[in-house]
Structure 1
Amino acid sequence: MDEKENSTEVFFDILIKNEVVMETAPLDEQKEYILPDDDYDFHAYRILLLIRKCGIINEPFFSHFTIYGRGKFSFFDFLIRYPFYLKRVIEIEKKPKLLDNLKLRSFETERALSPMIKYIRGPWDHRYDGIFNYMVSKGLIKVEFTNFNKSKKAMCLTLTELGIQISEQIIKEEPIWVDRMDIINAIFPKNATNERIDDYIRKHFPSLMLGIEGE
Structure 2
Amino acid sequence: MRLTLADIVTSLDRDEPVHLARMLILLLAFSRPDDAAIHGITKLAKLDFLLRYPSYFERAMVARGVAPERVPVEPYERRSVEATMVRYRFGPWDHRYRRFINILSAKGLARVDTDGRTVRLSLTARGMEVAAALAEEDATKPLAARARMLRQRIDIGATDIMKFIYATFPEIATLAYDEAITP
Contact 1:36/1:42 (8 A) holds in 2: no
Q: Which amino acid aligns with 1:181?
A: A
Distance in 2, Cα, partners of 1:45 & 1:186: 20
> 1:83 maps to what in 2?
54
Q: Which runs of 5+ in 1 are unaligned?
A: 1-33, 148-152
Per-residue displacement from partner, 1:159-197 (whole Å, max 9, x unpaired)?
Answer: 1121111112112113211211122122112xx211111
> 2:150 maps to what in 1?
184
SS in 2 for 1:143: strand
Aligned residues: 166
Higher strand share: 1
Q: Which runs of 5+ in 2 are unaligned?
A: 1-9, 178-183
Contact 2:58/2:71 (8 A) holds in 1: no
TM superposition shift of 1:208:
2.7
Q: Which amino acid aligns with 2:70?
A: D
Q: Which amino acid aligns with 2:109?
A: L
Relative to 1, partners in 2 of residues 1:203 and 1:35: Cα closer, same or farther, differing over 3 Å? closer
Q: Which amino acid aligns with 2:94?
A: D
Q: Which amino acid aligns with 2:150?
A: I
Q: Which amino acid aligns with 1:49?
A: I
> 1:166 maps to what in 2?
130
Per the normalisation by structure 1, the TM-score is: 0.66
SS in 2 for 1:56: coil
Where in structure 2 are the equivalents of 1:74-113 lying within 5 Å? 74-96=45-67, 99-102=69-72, 104-113=73-82
Between the aligned residues of both structures, percent identity stands at 25
Per the normalisation by structure 2, the TM-score is: 0.76
Distance in 2, Cα, partners of 1:69 & 1:146: 9
The structure, 1 or 2, with the larger RCO (C-alpha pairs under 8 Å, 6+ apart) is 2
Q: Which of 35, 38, 61 is 1:67 aligned to?
A: 38
> 1:133 maps to what in 2?
102
CA RMSD of aligned residues (A): 2.8
Distance in 2, Cα, partners of 1:56 & 1:210: 36
Contact 2:37/2:121 (8 A) holds in 1: yes
> 1:50 maps to what in 2?
26
